[in-house]
Structure formats: C-alpha cells, structure tokens
Amino acid sequence: MNIYAIAAIYRFEMARTFRTLMQSIASPVLSTSLYFVVFGAAIGSRMGQIDGVSYGAYIIPGLIMLSLLNESISNASFGIYMPKWAGTIFELLSAPVSFLEVVIGYVGAAATKSMMLGLLILLTARLFVSYEIAHPVWMIGFLVLTSVTFSMFGFIIGLWADDFQKLQVIPLMVITPLTFLGGSFYSIKMLPPVWQKITLFNPVVYLINGFRWSFYGVSDVNVLVSAGVTFGFLLLCLGVVWWIFRTGYKLRS
C-alpha cells in the first residue's frame, strides 16, 4: 500500500476544499438552515408529533442526509473529473499507484468533507430546534458509511461524465427526488398502503430511516436492513470502480 500516494491525493483534495470554503461548506450549511427555519421553526411549531418526536426534530436526519448525499457525490465526482478534463489523469494512470490507492485518496477526501458538513449542519440545527441523539455511535457509523458509499458513487459519476453538465445530472435528476420521496419530511407510514410498498424500493428510505433511528430510536424499516443495504451498495460501487480501472472504460479514450 503506497501511503505517500494516498496522502498526496488526500491533501490535494482537502486543500482545494479549504480554498473554496464558501462554496464547499458555507453554502450548503446556509441553504439547509433555510429548511430548518421554514419547516422546523415556522411550520414545525404548528404541527403535531410523528412517532412521539416533534416535527422540527423529526426532519433533522432527513435534511442532513439530503445535504450529505448531494455533497458526497459532488465532491467526489468533481475531484476525479478535473484530472480527466485537464488531461493529468494519464500521469495518475502511469504512476505506480493501484486503483485502490487512488480510490482511497479521492473518496477519503470527499467523505471527510461530507462528514464535516454533516456535523456542521447538525450543530446548526441546534439553533432552531431541540433534538437528542439516542445512539451516538450508530449515528457516527451511519454518517461515515453513507459519506463513503456516496462518495464512491460520485467517483463513478466523475469517471463516467464527459462534460461538466453530466456531473449534475444524477444528483439533480435522481438523488434529490429520491431523497425528498424517501421520507425526509414524513414517515412512510403516513402514505397509503400501496405507496408504502412502492417506497420500499427507494434505497434512500433505508439511509434516512437508519440515520433517524440513531437519533430517536424510531424507524419505518429495520435498522440492520438499513445498514445492510448501504453496505451492499458500497461493495457494488467498489466493484464498478475496479472494473473501470481494469478495462480503462472512460479513462483511456
């Protein structure tokens, strides 16, 4: 394992983040704060509880996941796309660095940024609503697992994309709708029976509910199933990345 190569990639990506703090950190935190103001403080104060949890507190895990998924994908996809766009990806491919070391460097940096953002949003939420974390170890575990998994997914999007527009297609057209329809602002038990079953095919439901369980001990699905689905998707993404580096798909053309 080439630790120096991993560290070099990781430091470079993290340095880029700190050069663009307003765009990378401040902007997502401010936009999420608007959700807390509107849904948590304004609307939430006029709504009842869901599963014994106030509405303002109930939506916190969903809002964190909304930012976490989008930022994980964006950070990782942009990080690997830039070397492709600039042509420096060939220097990386010709260096004595394995695909696993490249993935650890880029995905590790993207996941670190996402976890920092998630924790900042969690602290910001305290300004608007009161909440408790019943299982802090599980909360950190879901935060890390989700950040790494969707940073890996973003890494794949960055390898696949041919232009800057394609970097935004999946987050805007797929991930954001799935997150809104995955129980970010409501319990899926509030849906009609048919839609409850259909919603279970949405993978984001398991992410949000597992994360929400770590806060309040309530969930629409089994927490072990939530962790299993997320870990399975991580292994799938790792397999896809291995195949891309093995075949040179979208790398050598």
- Distant-in-sequence, close-in-space partners of 122: CB < 8 Å, separation ≥ 6: 60, 64
Q: Does residue 253 lie in a domain region?
A: no
Q: Does residue 100 lie in a domain region?
A: yes
How many domains, in total, are found in the chain? 1
Q: Does residue 55 lie in a domain region?
A: yes
Confidence band for 146, pLDDT divided at 50, 70 and 90: very high
Give the pTM. Answer: 0.86
Answer yes or no: is pLDDT of 199 > 80. Answer: yes
- pLDDT digit string (tens) for 84-119? 887 777 777 777 777 788 888 889 999 998 898 888
Nearest-angstrom CA–CA distance, 35 and 206 = 22
Position 112 scores a pLDDT of 92
Nearest-angstrom CA–CA distance, 37 and 164 = 32
Contact 9, 102 (CB under 8 A): yes
- Averaged confidence pLDDT in the chain: 84
- Taking CA 228 as the corner, what is the angle to CA 160 and CA 242, rounded to the nearest 5 degrees? 30
Q: Does residue 140 lie in a domain region?
A: yes
The range of the structural domain enclosing residue 229 comes to: 3-247
Q: Does residue 252 lie in a domain region?
A: no
- pLDDT digit string (tens) for 10-21? 888 888 777 776
